[in-house]
Structure 1
Amino acid sequence: MKPQFTALFGLAILLLPVHLVAQAGVCPYSRVNESILVESYWQYRYTLHTGTNQVIHQGGAQFPSYLHFRYDNSAEISTNGQYSQSSWSVNQGRLMLHYRQDSIYCVQRPDPNTLQLGFQAPNSRTDYLYVFSRIDAGQSPFQRPWYELPTILVRKDQPTRTTGQDTPWWAFWRRWQRPATPPGPPPIPIRIEVSGGGYYGGINPVYRQYVTINSEGRLIREVQTKRDGLMVTRKNISRSELEDFAEWIQENGYFELDREYDCTDQECHRRKRERPRPMPLQTSITIGQRTKIVTVPIWGEDNRHVRYIDHPPLIDQIVETVYRMADRQEIRAKK
């Protein structure tokens, strides 16, 4: 695809008038903390078709797009070098941000490091997601006005007690109190996402299947079927287990995989159009400063027990491990 066409297609996607994704004007995540966005900078990464979990457009050098949410509820927008401003506000999970007039987005899965904005294309019931990642101010094209004071991050730490600070009459009591331990380095950011896979069909077809694990080990699984609707389960994974899993992923070369493993023969391409319709599998893993998204358009065997796309076994191993974590029963101590 030519770079000029990619840029024009991306601009057309971003400038589509949007409607609210959820039914009856209600977003699925209504409790969105507005402070996550105040004085934050975001870079556009890709657009996701939620029905198939397929990335239909990617940002980057060919299509740079940035957002800056200011403390006074104004926003700066830079897309392909073109600068504009807008007001912004958050109410019941709805983000009012004017790419065009009266544009409303649903904030999906609020996260301090990832911003996902859901919308629907005009005259369509198809849902899409704009996915942004948080960046530092220096990584954005926005310039701070000369009259504006710099942003200062204030963090209160427990001071370490030293000898001689206490008055003599209670100094004997302080001898049994240990000095405060200085905080260690912050943990490495880890985020693991698995979406899609399998085939759409049967008595109770699956519309959506998504699992995410954040740096704190919070695992969220979403499954939406025709009969049961949206089901969300949450559980916690220990940080040590998550770090071991991330280390294993790196050692086995996940970040060296191709971005997509697609069909190589006509039978495979023909299977994409047949029923039950295959749902593309997508894995997105962030460890530290590295992020990798791998897509497999047809994943798993169909009712004829045929495997259509040859992809590395590592992808299957990662998916199986994530779903084992999601299916694991939590053991609670009896009171």
Structure 2
Amino acid sequence: MTPPVAAAAFLAAHGWPDARIEPVAGDASFRRYFRVIAGSRSAILMDAPPPQEDPRPFLEIARWLTGRGFAAPEIHATDLDTGLVLLEDFGDVRMRETIDAAPEREAALYRSAIDTLVRLQQEEAAPVPRYDLEVLHREANLLTEWYCPAIGVTPDQAAYDAAWDAVLGTTLHGTMVTVLRDFHAENLMLLDEGDSLGLLDFQDALAGHPAYDLVSLLQDARRDVDPAVEAAMLDHYRGATNADDAFDVAYHVLGAQRNAKIVGIFTRLWQRDGKPRYAALCPRVWRYLERDLAHPALAPVKAWFDATIPPDLRGNPMEIAA
């Protein structure tokens, strides 16, 4: 986590000469983050190096969100040639660690997150690409591209595609909303002593079904969400939006699609990027996936999984491969 070479000159040019630069937690991409400290001031330096990363989608969505009253980081300065962006510092108080330290706050914080989504979905969708069938298939295929070979399974790709074709149509109808796509407890910051939520990691936003970000939040790949909490929060969402049975179907279809994608991504992070800690998260994701596959609407996809990946091959791909 050595700061990028261009960081010192970039910071000096924007009023932060001789600032101290400290690494902060990164994510699963090529992006890196640093805290910049000068006296009583602090900011976050995003290093999104081209050509692997392009910070422009992040900047556009951040401005779209703040323009509508949502707490996305203010943009202090940018250099698109080097991929450096100086952002407002939301601090270190994340929803994830807050719940871990004070479990009694879990329900209230999840309700707050749901309320934020409800507000977001009342806005006309941002000017972003549509979460269409091609994207949904491409993401689901990460499981057959990475997880299946890792565990020694040769999948019937045509049958896999057909199974998803049979169910994904339920997610393509109705009003499309802004889908942040990584809306979960590690990307939600507690601001104003917990009275509001700061949003992070939204650069991949698309216009899609309202259920998708609910899945991101309530089937969290990085922490266990109790089925009772998931059910209570879905009830809270239904009460706020009058969501019907079609929404419930889409929730489980998108849950299965997202979790299949994540199993593939986490396997790729282990095999291609040398990050084995992600492989260890796969058993949790499989548990969510199996819960979604139990919904009657997922019968074609469940049949493919049952025929292709038996229960003893559903877990940590690194351990199974060994």
Please report the TM-score for the alignment, with normalisation by the length of structure 2: 0.28
Write 1 or 2 for the structure with the bigger share of strand.
Answer: 1
Kindly name which structure, 1 or 2, has the bigger radius of gyration based on alpha carbons. Answer: 1
Please report the TM-score for the alignment, with normalisation by the length of structure 1: 0.27
Asked which structure has the greater RCO (Cα within 8 Å, sep 6+), the reply is 2
Write 1 or 2 for the structure with the bigger share of helix.
Answer: 2
